[in-house]
A and B are shown apart, each in its own frame.
Chain A
Amino acid sequence: MNKKENLLGFLFLLPNFLGFFCFLLIPVLLSLGMAFTDWDLLSPPNFIGFQNFVELLKDNRFWKYLGNTFFLMISIPFNIMGSLILASLLAKNVRFSKIFRLVFYLPTICTGVATCMVWIWLYNPNYGLINLFLSYLGVEGPGWLTDVSWSKPALMVMGFWAMIGGQNMILYIAGLQGIPQSLYEAADIDGASFLQKFWHITIPMLAPTTFFIVIMSIIGGFQGGFESAYIMTGGGPDGSTTTLSYYIYNNAYSWFRMGYAAATSWILFLIIFLFTLIKWKISKKIEGED
């Protein structure tokens, strides 16, 4: 390590670091400052101490939307299991595996406004495909996106469709192909059943992949729900699909409560940080026991 390498390293980092400085570091500090003000973008900001945070703790909507965010994250384990099942079906030599992968991956590619639109149409209470199908079975389908008790499950089903064949499935395929075949052969000699092999070989061998997927899903899950809320439900009915991300958006850009939105985003960050840390510690502990 010498002065020349220090300078070189600095120069190579410079373009990226400049971006981080302007669009991450400074904004994070500004956001912390804003969290202690009542800025509305028009009049100059006033310093109001912890008032935003105190208000947040008393804000029933905040707690409700935090609850919604958690509720929607219940789908994470199901999404991950779905990906694992698809991956284990595809990891062995399967004919047309490329076509299957393509088909499973398509929803992930197209996520966003366009797929939200399709799902509004599919969930249409009178003419949507899902309720038409249910009517053939003699069931009268609910107004999926307009019924408080069905709106969250409806979004979770859409998320499941969009997620199972995506990135996580591809990671699991790679993980499964990395498991030495000899482990399964040894288990066969001992007369292990399919489920025993899956539980005692596949799952533990995939632990690093699962760890990565779970961490990324938690980080994504807490920030999620904006697009579907904005495009499909407007956060309703009765706020049942408003997540923290959508609440922050509305505070900042619809009601111009920049300070309050910044304070909420800091709480969100702390929650993400805490959960990532907990997951990290749990994984460390399990590894330690083995």
Chain B
Amino acid sequence: MKNRFMSLYATTFFRYFILITVGVTMMIPFLWMISTSLKDISSVFVFPPRFIPERFYWSNYIQAWEAVPFLRGYINSIVVSFTTTIGQVITSSLAAYAFARLNFFGRDKIFFAYLATMMIPGDMTMIPVFALLKKVPEWLNLLFSPETQWWTNDLYLFGFYVGKPLGVDSYFALITPALFTAYGTFMLRQFFLNIPKDLEHASKIDGCSAWGIYRHVILPLSKPALAALATFTIMGSWRSFIWPLIVTSSLEMKTLPVMLEAFKGTYSTEWNLLMAGSMLMIFPLIIVFLFCQRFFVEGIQIGAVKG
């Protein structure tokens, strides 16, 4: 008996030992990033390095903030990720409702085709979409007289430059292709399928239409799943790099990650500023995650239950 007790003790110790070691190791890059971001440039290269800086140079953050138009980057990222998220939640919840509840012609075949599209590499669709965004305004110019070419005008909203209405290097190009998601549709459908149908029967007797059921029964009951999808989308959009990189050319239209990359190009050895800039980018992600952690975990699980 005593032996068994000892081995239980040993396994528990072993378990925590591994968990703590792995946890600390995984945190080191972040701690090092914070540490470097608060040093002045001369102590960045001091040997042996100090983990806690002698003096905290908070001014690095201000310097990084002013080096590139970070504020503009923040605004762009907020506009793009919020619009994308709202759009994805609307389009995919509508489609998911149809796939989960309505009985229309070829439903399951269409759904399977949706799933299969997840295998198509993003690289494949990006090339023609980019080409179209670049070419469509030019083609329109050939078709219409110069007076009616409103798509070539720069737009301002309350004095704030919002780019061109169409074509590359615009909010249109950053947002529209991202408004639709097969993954989100799939995830929400899985969740809707698990909502008991009895609830809808009652509303049907009360004379609720399909829209009424979607709006007043399904959506309110699916708040956790919708929140999970929204969390995924907003964070994914905040981090997304390749598409914003391709479609933006002017500094005013760049989102935060692309701007950070441009920042790296000009301050390639000033590690304290680069780390401060990186911190500025991931800080909102960490905040969102801390508040939405519950939805995150649930969402991942919904998405994977027996495809």
Contacts and interface: CB of A to CB of B under 8 A. Distances in A.
A288 interface: no
Contact of B121 (A9, A109, A222): A222
A114 B282 contact: yes
A167 to B, nearest CB: 5
Interface string A22-41: 01101110110010000101
B129 A23 contact: yes
Contacts of A9: 98, 102-105, 107
Nearest to B124: A265
A114 B278 contact: yes
A103 B304 CA distance: 23
A148 interface: no
A30 B133 CA distance: 13
Interface in B279-307: 279, 281-282, 285-286, 289-290, 293, 296-297, 300-301, 304, 306-307
Given A8-B102, A17-B95, A109-B289, A268 B121 contact: yes
Contacts of B176: 23
A262 B286 CA distance: 37
- Interface of chain A, helix or strand or loop or mixed? helix
A181 interface: no
A94 B281 contact: no
A48 interface: no
A13 B94 contact: yes
A103 B23 contact: yes
Contacts of B281: 113-114
Contact of B15 (A18, A89, A117, A174): A89
Interface stretch (A55-63, A139-147, A197-205, A248-256): A248-256
A244 B36 CA distance: 34
B123 A245 contact: yes
A191 to B, nearest CB: 13
Given A171-B301, A212-B307, A219-B119, A269 B103 contact: no
Nearest to A167: B300
Contacts of A244: 123
B274 A121 contact: yes
A114 B283 CA distance: 10
Interface residues of A, number: 86
A104 B94 CA distance: 34
Contacts of B289: 105-106, 109
Given A23-B125, A208-B306, A117 B274 contact: yes
Contacts of A226: 241-242
A140 B282 CA distance: 32
Given A12-B97, A106-B30, A127-B45, A100 B301 contact: no
Contacts of A111: 239
Q: Is the interface of B mostly helix, strand, loop or mixed?
A: helix
Contacts of A219: 118-119
A261 interface: yes
B48 interface: yes
A114 B36 CA distance: 14
Contacts of A278: none
Contacts of A272: 119, 121
Interface string A88-124: 0110101000001111111101111111011101101
A224 B289 CA distance: 24
Contact of B128 (A5, A30, A209): A30
A31 B26 contact: no
A24 B91 contact: no
7 contacts: A9-B107, A34-B131, A103-B27, A105-B289, A127-B47, A230-B242, A230-B245
Sort A-B residue pairs by CB-CB distance and give the 8 closest, nearest first: A9-B104, A19-B180, A12-B98, A16-B95, A30-B128, A265-B124, A114-B278, A27-B128
Interface of B: 15-16, 18-19, 22-23, 26-30, 32-33, 36, 44-45, 47-49, 90-92, 94-95, 97-98, 102-105, 107, 110, 114, 117-132, 134-135, 176-177, 179-180, 182, 185, 210, 214, 235, 239-242, 245-246, 257-258, 260-261, 264, 271, 274-275, 277-279, 281-282, 285-286, 289-290, 293, 296-297, 300-301, 304, 306-307
Given A1-B104, A16-B94, 12 more contacts: A16-B180, A105-B289, A106-B30, A110-B239, A110-B282, A114-B282, A121-B275, A170-B297, A245-B123, A268-B124, A269-B120, A269-B121
